[in-house]
Amino acid sequence: MLMGYSSFGPVMVAVMIFAFALAIVVYFIPSIVAYARRTQNFLAIFLLNLFLGWSLLGWVGSLIWALLDEKKGYAYMQVPVAAPNNSSLSPQPRAIMTAPPTPSSTAVFCPHCGHAVGPEDLFCAHCGHALRQPPEK
């Protein structure tokens, strides 16, 4: 016999739904602020809000971030356009651009996967790509 708990009135249900919706809105206030301010890092703020908003620190942090983040200004929209580059002038693949920067100037990178390899290696230790043709007779 669950006396008192067996019958929620429709008003009580409505109040609970309203409170739930209100909690959702309050929960996503940082994302709403970030969206309204058209911040640069809206997606990051939203994800922080979504995954860490349940903790007070994450919620306050994402809210502060949303308030302090730079707006998407005109300068931000000016993405530097790459100069027209005729690929016929540079036939070699530019795989080295994906390689991580290294302080050593003598480092050699695999042209296949970009992994750092030794200057004397015949094969890439990462993907097995032949770095040079074996000496033929």
Asked whether position 116 contacts Zn ion by CB under 5 A, the answer is no
What is the smallest separation between the CB atom of 81 and Zn ion, expressed in angstroms? 31
Cα angle 104, 107, 111; round to 5: 145
Asked whether position 113 contacts Zn ion by CB under 5 A, the answer is yes
Following DSSP, what letter does each residue of 41-86 receive, concatenated? THHHHHHHHHHHTTSHHHHHHHHHHHHHSPB--HHHH-PPPPPP--
What is the smallest separation between the CB atom of 109 and Zn ion, expressed in angstroms? 8
Nearest one of 120, 99, 116, 98 to 108, comparing CA atoms: 116
CA 51/CA 65 separation, integer angstroms: 15
Binding residue for Zn ion (CB under 5 A) from 50, 58, 99, 129?
129
Binding residue for Zn ion (CB under 5 A) from 61, 112, 116, 121?
112
Number of residues that bind Zn ion (CB under 5 A): 8
Nearest one of 78, 51, 70 to 62, comparing CA atoms: 51
Asked whether position 127 contacts Zn ion by CB under 5 A, the answer is yes
Instruction: Convert residues 11-50 into a mask of x (bound to Zn ion by CB under 5 A) and - (unbound).
Output: ----------------------------------------
Can you give the binding site for Zn ion, defined by CB under 5 A?
110, 112-113, 115, 124, 126-127, 129
